[in-house]
Chains A and B, each alone.
Chain A
Amino acid sequence: MDWLIDRLRSFAGKSALADGGKVYTYAQLAARIEEHGSLLAARGVQPGRVVALVAEYSFDSIALFFALVRHRTIVVPVTTGVGGELDDRFADAFVDDVIRIEDDISIQPGPPRAGGTHALVQRLRDAGHSGLVLFSSGSEGKPKAMLHDFDNLADHYRARPARDSVMMVFLMFDHIGGMNTLLNCLAMGALMVIPDSRVPERVCSLIEQHKVQILPASPTFLNLVIISEAFRHHDLSSLRLVTYGTEPMPESLLLRLSEAFPGAKYLQTFGTSETGIAKTSSLSCTSTLMKIDDPDQEYRIVDGELWLKSKTQILGYLNAPMDGFTDDGWFKTGDLVETAADGFLRIVGRRKEVINVGGQKVMPAEVESVLLTAPGVEDCMVFGEANALTGQAVTADVVLGEPRPPLAVKKALRLFLRTKLDAYKIPTRINVVDRTNFNQRFKKIRHKDDSSPGGSV
């Protein structure tokens, strides 16, 4: 861990973080980490404690995070959006102390618990390593508390060469994608821009203001940038690279993006909270084919499902059995992939989101990609609904540019799709909606009655 702190110091006067109208240097960040480190020592937060950090990304919360890992605690970043689930999260992660950043930094004891700590936490303590607990989305049941050896995870970023770039952080640090951006930026000495809102207009204005070069985002968010036309109102010519992940990218959207941001390259990122983010390369800017090119990650494909084994995978779950891992350490991602020549892969969707229409399989992403090319359709989401005749039937929610009567829309869209998709893939129900159902991380939730955040990354 000390290597990272040393590196931050060596970047000295370079800009590190843009937060709320201020830009902080690496020297200021290193100094603030020292200050927070002294505070932790003074307040009796011992190494090996499990510490929840309830905060959004900010100069202070990032400094505190690194003070905590340097102090060899096990950090549980929780964003404030979690609301009433906070106590459950504290209990599930065996939290000893809770830190909140408000006007001041408050440190309070975690909820009382009967027994000691978890065996995996003890293992980290014994090794003298720092830890990181991330929670799964809860889209497949209760959120799972996943324990990473943070020293080990951070080491993965050690070989990053120093680089002058400006990167937006899109996801929070309670998410492996947000943690990946943070570690990438700091290991390279880049400037990380923290948006104060994720409204497309605001994000585009910050890109213009800070001349952001790298934008990590989800396809759902990128589509909002297009349909809001936010990209027309700002000079985004600084953008060199748009990385996308967390959900399948419709190829039709990728083409529209290339037209909107002609100067940028596009790269698919891939990872899971369980295994960390893999280094990937995309076949081309308009292709959703990618390659996993990472010395720290192995993969295999079993029954069309991607399995990963990485050097940065979690030690285990603190509140759930190791379902999803094989005995020899492979993680079954739940993502279905297609393979192409030369080791290229395409993520086609989540195994649990496959719609089974009378025995025939439909991938929502395939239908969405075609629907997005239909005249008047700005956004859409496809999912399965139970049907007594065919087991499941395909339903689409569509967002229209101009209001039109729902029955006419359905008829027009079904006729449009008929020439482009097999009959069983064409939605039986088409609902006209104001917006698709996506969560606070701009990822589509493909079932109606679930407003829980997150998902695979």
Chain B
Amino acid sequence: MKEKILSIIYAALNDASEELGKPELARPGPETHLYGRKGHLDSLALVNLLADVEQRVADDLGKAIVLADERAMSQKRSPFATAGTLADYIELLLSEG
């Protein structure tokens, strides 16, 4: 499941790379920084990425999840730090049904 989730995040990052003109996002891995001190995205780009990932999860996995909400904000470690932390958080949400 983790691989599937990561591939969804990578696909969304590929689109973001093209849209934002940021080649560093074109070949993402689990360590790719999203938002924060080393992040490649500003808050607006993060909002867009999350909306994109939500839509892809719904399309590919048939599950509706919400990534940008209070719960995500209040996690000890930000789910939005890297592609990997985001994938962990999505896996957690999906495991809850």
Q: With an 8 A cutoff between CB atoms, is B43 at the interface?
A: yes
A423 — which chain B residues lie within 8 A by C-beta?
44
Inter-chain contact B51/A393, CB cutoff 8 Å: yes
Q: Known: A390-B47, A414-B19. Contact between A407 and B55, CB under 8 A? A: yes
Chain A minimum-CB-distance residue to B74: A388
Which residues from B are CB-within-8-Å of A357?
A: 44
- Tell me the chain A residues, 384-428 only, with Cβ under 8 Å from chain B: 387-390, 393, 406-407, 410-411, 414-415, 418, 423-424, 426, 428
Do A393 and B56 touch across chains, with their CB atoms under 8 A apart? no
Where the two chains meet, the residues of A that have a C-beta atom closer than 8 Å to any C-beta of B are: 357-358, 387-390, 393, 406-407, 410-411, 414-415, 418, 423-424, 426, 428-429
Q: State in angstroms the CA–CA spacing of A358 and B45 once bound together.
A: 12
The reply to whether A389 and B15 contact each other, CB–CB distance below 8 Å, is no
What are the 3 tightest A-B residue pairs by CB atom distance, in nearest-first order? Answer: A428-B51, A388-B68, A388-B69
Find residues 13-57 in chain B having any chain A CB closer than 8 Å to their own CB: 15, 18-19, 43-44, 46-48, 50-52, 55-56
9 more A-B residue pairs beyond the given contacts A387-B68, A411-B19, A418-B19, with a C-beta to C-beta distance below 8 A:
A358-B43, A388-B73, A389-B43, A389-B47, A389-B73, A390-B43, A390-B44, A406-B59, A411-B18
Check: B96 CB closer than 8 A to any chain A CB. no
Q: Kindly provide the distance from the CB of A196 to the nearest chain B CB, expressed in whole angstroms.
A: 42
Residues on B with C-beta less than 8 A from A407 are: 55-56, 59
Q: How far is the CA of A387 from the CA of B48 in the complex (A)?
A: 11
A-B contact count (CB 8 A): 45
Bound Cα distance from A414 to B51, whole angstroms: 13
* Cβ distance A385 to chain B, nearest Cβ, rounded Å: 9
In Å, the complex CA distance between A284 and B32 comes to 53
On chain B, the residues within 8 Å of A393 by CB distance are 47, 51, 68
In the assembled complex, the Cα of A414 lies from the Cα of B18 at a distance in Å of: 11
Q: Which residues of B contact A (CB under 8 A)?
A: 15, 18-19, 43-44, 46-48, 50-52, 55-56, 59, 68-70, 72-73
Residues of A close to B48: CB separation below 8 A: 414, 426, 428
24 interchain pairs, CB-CB under 8 A: A358-B44, A387-B47, A387-B68, A388-B68, A388-B69, A388-B70, A388-B72, A389-B46, A389-B47, A390-B47, A393-B47, A393-B68, A406-B55, A407-B55, A407-B59, A411-B15, A414-B48, A415-B19, A423-B44, A424-B44, A428-B48, A428-B51, A429-B51, A429-B55
Q: Which partner residue on chain B sits nearest A390 by CB separation?
A: B47
Chain A residue nearest to B71 in the complex (CB): A388
Query: Which of A358, A411, A428 has the most B CB atoms < 10 Å from its CB?
Result: A428
B55 adjacent to A428 (CB under 8 Å): no
Nearest-CB distance from A431 to chain B (Å)? 9
In whole angstroms, how far apart are the Cα atoms of A429 and B54 in the complex?
10
Contacts of A415 in B (CB 8 A): 18-19
A414 to B56, CA, bound (A): 16
Residues of A near B69 (CB, < 8 A) are: 388
Nearest-CB distance from A69 to chain B (Å)? 53
Q: How far is the CB of A275 from chain B (nearest CB, A)?
A: 39
> What CA separation (Å) do A389 and B68 show in the bound complex?
6
Q: Specify which chain B residues have a CB less than 8 angstroms from the CB of A410 in the assembled complex.
A: 52, 55
A385's nearest neighbour on chain B, judged by CB, is B51
Measured in the bound complex, the distance between the Cα atoms of B51 and A390 in whole Å is: 13
CB distance from A383 to the nearest CB of B (A): 14
Looking across the interface, which residue of chain B has its beta carbon closest to that of A392? Answer: B47
- Please give me the residue from chain B that is nearest to A422 by CB atom: B44
CA distance A387 to B55 in the complex (A): 15
Q: How far is the CA of A415 from the CA of B18 in the complex (A)?
A: 9
Contact at A428–B19, with CB atoms within 8 Å?
A: no
Which residues does chain B contribute within 8 Å of A388, judged by CB atoms?
Answer: 68-70, 72-73
The docked-state distance in angstroms from the alpha carbon of A387 to that of B69 is 7
Give every chain A residue within 8 A of B15 (Cβ-Cβ): 411
Chain A residues whose C-beta falls within 8 Å of the C-beta of B44 in the assembled complex: 357-358, 390, 423-424
Chain B's nearest CB lies how many Å from the CB of A109? 51
Closest to A405 in B: B59
Residue of B nearest to A414 (CB): B19
Interface-centre pick from B18, B19, B47, B68 (highest chain A CB count, 10 A) = B47
A214 to B46, CA, bound (A): 49
Looking at the assembled complex, report how far the CB atom of B12 sits from the nearest CB atom of chain A, in whole angstroms.
9
Least distance between B14 CB and chain A CB atoms (Å): 10
The distance in angstroms between the C-alpha atoms of A423 and B33, with both chains bound, is 21
What's the nearest-Cβ distance from chain B to residue A426, in Å?
A: 8
Across-interface contacts of B70 in A (CB, < 8 A):
388
Q: Which residues of B sit under 8 angstroms from A389, Cβ to Cβ?
A: 43, 46-47, 50, 68, 73
**What's the minimum C-beta distance from A429 to chain B, rounded to whole angstroms?**
5
- Nearest Cβ in chain B — how far from A391, in angstroms? 10
